A and B are shown apart, each in its own frame.
Chain A
Amino acid sequence: MKTVQFTAKFEHLDEIREFVGAIARDGGFSDKDVYNIQLATDEAASNIIEHAYEKVPNGILELSCGVRDNQITIVLTDRGESFDPSEIPLPDLKADLSNRKIGGLGIFLMRKLMDEVHYEAKSDQSNILTMTKRKR
């Protein structure tokens, strides 16, 4: 696993996508999978920056990523407000335009695009989001 740290700012999303994209590509994932892995990681990081670190100015977002046994694992660690994606209601994708909810879409995409999404709020105040996806 390779690990990098970013200050929790949206302007680092480009680098965050590049980091996981390069590892996924080197690991032999298809262009489609690489795109979707980047999208899921972007959504996860955006949620942390927007929600976990909403009230924290220079929060640190740690990102680890590696491929092993045909599976990519992405781990995002923050020390902000705990924010369990599984507790966020799924958006109603059948709702018409006026009733369509804006929130929850990023989390929905993470779950759809990755095989597994696991969240853990640790007693040492860190929150760990782990996502995996197998090569097809």
Chain B
Amino acid sequence: MDITVQEFKHCDMITVKGRVDSATAPQLAQALEAANDGGKYKLVVNMSELEYMSSAGFRALLAAQRNSKRYNRGEVVLASVPERIREALELAGFTELFKTFDDPLQAVGHF
């Protein structure tokens, strides 16, 4: 798994590549927490190059969404969610908790 963070004027984009499972989810959680700790609460998680995500990754996203939405200060949105991952998120009832965008720049434009 590989994470890169890109700053935009109104939000940060966190691009997650590869596979997120119980071994790698802590790194994703850390990246999201670091953004929040730096006062960034408007976050795009770009999944265009994500191959796999287990519930460990879902939990990291949920924690970040909770923290980001607190006091109405922001939110986490998902971009370019691959089909298999979207199906699993849907099954877990997570698609109702996150706005999703087909394109990362469209997601950036949301903020």
CB-contact partner of B92 in A17, A35, A105, under 8 A: A105
CA distance A17 to B92 in the complex (A): 20
B88 and A109 within 8 A (CB): yes
Cα–Cα distance between A43 and B65 once the two chains are bound (Å) = 22
Q: How large is the interface on A (under 10, 10 to 19, 20 to 34, 35 or more residues)?
A: 20 to 34
**Secondary structure type dominating chain A contacts:** helix
Main secondary structure of the interface of B (DSSP, over half): helix
Please give, as numbers and ranges, the residues of chain B lying within 8 Å of A72 by CB-CB distance.
none
| Additional 14 contacts, C-beta under 8 A, given A43-B54, A97-B62, A102-B62 | A10-B23, A13-B54, A14-B21, A17-B21, A17-B52, A31-B84, A36-B88, A42-B21, A91-B93, A97-B65, A97-B69, A102-B63, A105-B92, A106-B54
- Interface of A toward B, CB cutoff 8 Å: 10-11, 13-14, 17, 31-32, 35-36, 38-39, 42-43, 46, 49-50, 91, 93-94, 97-98, 100, 102, 105-106, 108-109, 112-113
